[in-house]
Chains A and B, each alone.
Chain A
Amino acid sequence: MDAKRKDFIATVVIDLIVAAVVGILVFLLAYILISGLPHVSWSFLTGTTDAFSGAGGIGVQLFNSFYLLVLTMLISIPISLGAGIYLAEYAKDNWRTSLIRSAIEVLSSLPSVVVGLFGFLLFVVKFKIGFSVISGAIALTFFNLPLLTRNIEESLSAVPRNQREAGLSLGLSKWKTEIGIILPVALPGIVTGIVLSAGRVFGEAAALIYTAGQSAPVTNFSDWNPMDPASPLNPFRPAETLAVHIWKVNTEGLASNAAQLSAAASAVLIIAVLLFNLGARVLGNFLYRRVTASK
């Protein structure tokens, strides 16, 4: 009977633990949405921030977050695609490859604050580009590359070998086989990974504080010439993102309604990240159906 009793107690304890974990998430989401959403309005989403107190809207920050995200993806997707193809197709099973894999692992396990500091050292201190969109995008690329590379390699390697053989046996080059035959089949997995990593990049702040900077100068949204200093597209202007804004308001902000502001900004951030997660699932499933079944 003793064993049965222990079994019962253990099951109850585990059920409680699980309930606690689910409860934590429900509390987190509920807290942010309930305390934040009432303060989210159109003027909050599009308004500008008071540079001194940090109060006001988050329009520029929201734009900056998306702009940095797009730039980061534009840089990191091609590089990790090439690197993923190298690992899946060209890398031989030897010490050099395992060294490369270790290097990627090290990069992926580095704290993001270290990645940010490296970006700061390289772009702000050494190259004197200053706090800028481009410094931030490259720092985020460093942070994003290892995960994306691994995801792409895994998706490519998961494609059955006989697809590669089919391409090669027709006299296609390895590269053409990989790009034209393997990549389309691996696409659902790759796209899912990219969208998930976009969510991660969107919420990242530690790597940006000292690269993209902590100020969001008001930009002229009617000026779309990337060379103009006032243009939102200018890659050399400082660009505080939404995530950095939340940190800034909480730690250094002088706004009297800092808690409301950050709750509202957090709610927007969480909703964006949730949309990315949902989007990854939906898009992945959609592409998977397209690739496997008939149209």
Chain B
Amino acid sequence: MEQTNFQLKKQDAQSHEWDARLHRATRATRKDWIGRGISYLCIGVIILVVASMLWFITSKGIATFTQNHVSLWKFLSGTNWAPDQGNIGALPMIVGSFAVTFAAAIVATPFAVGTAIFMTEISPNKGRKVLQPVIELLVGIPSVVYGFIGLAVVVPFMRHLVGGSGFGIISATFVLFVMVLPTITTMTVDSLRAVPRHYKEASLALGATRWQTVSRVILRSATPGILTAVIFGMARAFGEALAVQMVIGNAAIMPKNLISPASTLTSQLTTGIGDTIDGTLPNNALWSLALILLLMSLFFNALVRFIAKRGQLKNGR
């Protein structure tokens, strides 16, 4: 490249002035530094919260095993929960949590999918005007209110129906069913809407009935999405504390049937943590239950990601 008139000009005074003007910091650059600093700080706070939450709960949760030398296997498989006497078998709570979670998901899924099909395929108009607000209101009702209604309606109802106290897994299932219903429905609606229109049109054009189209084309291609929805619902059920605690009866024993008092990880934590002293075995054992909750939450998270990734591979994206 030949020397241009511009490079030669760089020597002269005017150029120097421009050089300074275009390099010095201005109000805008300062603002940008400040803004960048603020937003980095905010995201930093969130990261710090997550990291310290994981760290504290993990370190408290493993104290049972590292300080009190309880064997992990005994903790997971023992059925006798009496921390004051040094017996910490967490299996009753683990079984209780999984039982209510799966039961609620099994009951809620057909309702959620049915509602979602209605909202997307049968009557989108009523879906938007009536069901959308219904679902939003169901989400909005606080969990203590669900617990209260469970206590006031479901428990007495079960008592009349099958006898006993009425507290138990089946009552918790009823309450959780209503609580996870909106979660699963909303996400199923999203995944049904994401099915390309031409799939449906092609099927209908071939003379398939609406139900054939829905069951064989739409539901099939929305399966990963529906699965994700169910997992989200299960995560909510697994972590729900108060509503379950109010209706399950809180007996830390292996559930023999669905209608006798039982307990879950969350219900045991809610009732127990205030009555134990920090650093003692009964307290540490409760933190171990919290650690299981944390790990399950991470597991549900990972499962959702795994399904999303597989779905992407399948669609060749």
Contact = CB atoms under 8 A, between A and B. Distances in A.
| Complex contact flag A–B (Cβ < 8 Å) | yes
Contacts of A20: 111
B128 to A, nearest CB: 13
A274 interface: yes
Contacts of B278: 125
Contacts of A210: 273-274
A277 B115 contact: no
Given A90-B36, A117-B57, A251-B246, A24 B178 contact: yes
Contacts of B209: 3-4, 6-7
A266 interface: yes
Given A111-B266, A270-B145, A17 B53 contact: no
Given A14-B114, A209-B270, A142 B290 contact: no
Nearest to B250: A251
A110 B239 CA distance: 7
Main SS of the interface on chain B? helix
A22 B126 CA distance: 12
A22 B130 contact: yes
Nearest to B42: A82
B34 interface: yes
B137 A173 contact: no
A31 B131 CA distance: 20
A227 interface: no
Contacts of B60: 121
A273 B270 contact: no
A66 B238 CA distance: 29
A81 B39 CA distance: 8
B41 A82 contact: yes
B297 A173 contact: no
Contacts, number: 253
A31 B31 contact: no
Interface residues of A, number: 89
A243 B142 contact: yes
Interface string B177-211: 01001000100000000000000000000001111
B293 A118 contact: no
A28 B147 CA distance: 12
Contacts of A4: 209
A20 B178 CA distance: 11
A187 interface: no
Interface stretch (B2-10, B44-52, B66-74, B75-83): B44-52
B163 interface: no
Contacts of A205: 142-144, 242
A285 B76 CA distance: 52
A113 B270 contact: yes
Contacts of B98: none
Contact of B142 (A82, A110, A174, A203): A203
A176 B28 contact: yes
A269 B53 contact: no
Interface stretch (B12-20, B87-95, B149-157, B251-259): B149-157
Given A100-B47, A203-B143, A22 B131 contact: yes
B53 A86 contact: no
Nearest to B271: A251
Given A175-B35, A263-B148, A17 B28 contact: no
B294 interface: yes
Contact of A3 (B115, B212, B242): B212
A268 to B, nearest CB: 10
Contact of B118 (A17, A121, A202, A276): A17
Nearest to B210: A7
Contacts of B122: 11, 14-15
Interface stretch (A46-54, A101-109, A287-295): A101-109
A135 interface: no
Given A111-B297, A175-B34, A270-B141, A86 B40 contact: yes
A79 B43 CA distance: 8
A31 B39 contact: no
Interface string B152-169: 110000000000000000
B300 interface: yes
Contacts of A106: 50, 54, 297-298, 301
B235 interface: yes
A15 B151 CA distance: 29
Nearest to B232: A109
B29 interface: yes
B46 A266 contact: no
B106 interface: no
Contacts of A204: 142
26 contacts: A6-B211, A6-B212, A7-B212, A17-B110, A18-B114, A21-B185, A28-B149, A29-B137, A87-B43, A100-B47, A109-B301, A111-B266, A113-B266, A113-B269, A114-B294, A114-B297, A117-B287, A121-B57, A142-B53, A146-B46, A175-B36, A205-B142, A205-B144, A206-B266, A243-B144, A244-B144
